[in-house]
Amino acid sequence: MQAARGASLTSSDAEGSGTHTRDRRRARTIFGLVALTAYVVDISAKTWAVHRLSRGDIEVLGDWFVLHLVRNPGAAFSTGTEFTIVFSLVAIVAVGVVLWFARRVGTTGWAVALGLLLAGIGGNLTDRVFRDPGPLRGHVVDLFMVPHWPVFNVADVCIDVAAGLILLQAFRNVRLDGSRVSDEQSREDAA
């Protein structure tokens, strides 16, 4: 069989292309399922926390792990509380960027990482858009309290795990589409 410009296209080339398409389709499905599941878990946990924890804390493991309701207008560690609208706008752009990159996802590792990242950004953005005091100024609901750490939520966990998975893929030299950067190419890029 011949392809454009006279290049031969063997049956193994066609099979490889089909496998690549299936892998990409599978990765996109995983991305969507992870994003949707994690997002629903985050929103559900926050809804439950607002209704149940407004009556008081729940000690799960004594002082080591407490369910405690906090409404956070800022970013991580409650920093930048006066920039809530800026955080909201950045989150909107970040959702678009993740969706843009997700079009090229080709492996399970990247699919899970980007799915968790989208769920985390989307979960906190949902709070900023729909919670009091108003659109783009809403306070994020946090509910998990551990010693010597700010109160956090499921979306925050998703973002942190996603960051770890992204770093792992980078250290393994796995590109977004699933191809690998060869050691020789890595050395050339570093030079």
Write down the pLDDT at residue 72. Answer: 94
Residue 143 to residue 42: CA distance in whole angstroms: 11
Below-50 pLDDT ranges, the chain: 1-2, 4, 6, 8-15, 184
Write down the pLDDT at residue 59. Answer: 97
Write down the pLDDT at residue 10. Answer: 46
Give how far Cα 69 sits from Cα of 50, 56, 59, 88, 141, Å: 7, 8, 12, 21, 7
Give how far Cα 130 sits from Cα of 65, 122, 127, Å: 28, 12, 5
Q: What is the pTM of this model?
A: 0.84
Percentage of the chain lying above the pLDDT 90 cut: 76
Pair 168, 159: CB distance under 8 Å: no
Instruction: Tell me if residue 142 is catalytic.
Output: yes
Write down the pLDDT at residue 181. Answer: 82
Write down the pLDDT at residue 110. Answer: 98
Count CB-CB contacts under 10 A for residue 117.
28
Catalytic residue among 13, 57, 156, 177: 156
42-67 per-position pLDDT tens digit = 999 999 999 999 999 999 999 999 99
Pair 152, 124: CB distance under 8 Å: no
Write down the pLDDT at residue 17. Answer: 59
Catalytic residue among 23, 57, 132, 142: 142
Write down the pLDDT at residue 191. Answer: 57
Write down the pLDDT at residue 79. Answer: 78
Write down the pLDDT at residue 76. Answer: 73
Write down the pLDDT at residue 1. Answer: 44
